[in-house]
């Protein structure tokens, strides 16, 4: 089961859209940003940058529990886990790495 630490913002919506489209079971755990839930010590253990979304997958790699923060990392994890909306072959994954890296470089250029 996947626990989704969530607030209704575009970054939160991204993950619910992916979970729904990939037909993955999940439980929503609301994060009240206005009340400061993101600064609670137990939340900071799974999200060191005090931001949602975060997922905790009780059935992560090797059957071990894993927590993941950063919406892009969560989307990639869910894509790989479900086999949906993610490259299946090594060749396609290399192409994804190229585009993803180029995107980061371009974003860096915009913000530097
Ligand atoms: N780069 C992060 C951004 C996440 C983010 O900015 N989350 C905001 C809400 S949309 C948040 O939790 N803010 C709480 C805070 O800054 O205290 C991601 O893509 O997950």
pLDDT in tens, the chain (112 residues): 999 999 999 999 999 999 999 999 999 999 999 999 999 999 999 999 999 999 999 999 999 999 999 999 999 999 999 999 999 999 999 999 999 899 888 888 765 4
What is the Cβ-side half-sphere exposure of residue 12, based on CA atoms within 13 angstroms? Answer: 15
Count of Cβ atoms closer than 10 Å to residue 62 Cβ: 6
CA dihedral 79, 29, 66, 68 (to 10 degrees): 60
Q: What is the pLDDT of residue 110?
A: 67
Q: Does 68 contact ligand 1 (Cβ within 6 A)? A: no
Calculate the CA 41 to chain-centre distance.
20
Q: How far is the CA of 32 from the centre of ligand 1 (A)?
A: 12
- Name the residue with the closest Cα to ligand 1, atom 19: 71
Q: What is the pLDDT of residue 57?
A: 98
Separation of alpha carbons 8 and 16, rounded Å? 10
Domains of the chain: 2-86 (3.40.30.10)
Q: Does 52 contact ligand 1 (Cβ within 6 A)? A: yes
- Name the residue with the closest Cα to ligand 1, atom 15: 51
């Amino acid at each position: 089961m996947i626990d989704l630490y969530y607030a209704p913002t575009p970054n939160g919506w991204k993950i619910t859209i992916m979970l729904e489209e990939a037909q993955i079971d999940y439980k929503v755990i609301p994060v009240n940003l206005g009340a400061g839930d993101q600064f609670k010590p137990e939340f900071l253990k799974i999200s060191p940058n005090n931001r949602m979304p975060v997922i905790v997958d009780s059935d992560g790699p090797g059957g071990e529990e894993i927590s993941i923060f950063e919406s892009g990392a969560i989307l990639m994890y869910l894509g790989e886990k479900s086999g949906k909306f993610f490259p299946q072959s090594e060749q396609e994954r290399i192409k994804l790495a190229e585009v993803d890296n180029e995107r980061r470089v371009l974003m860096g250029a915009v913000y530097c």
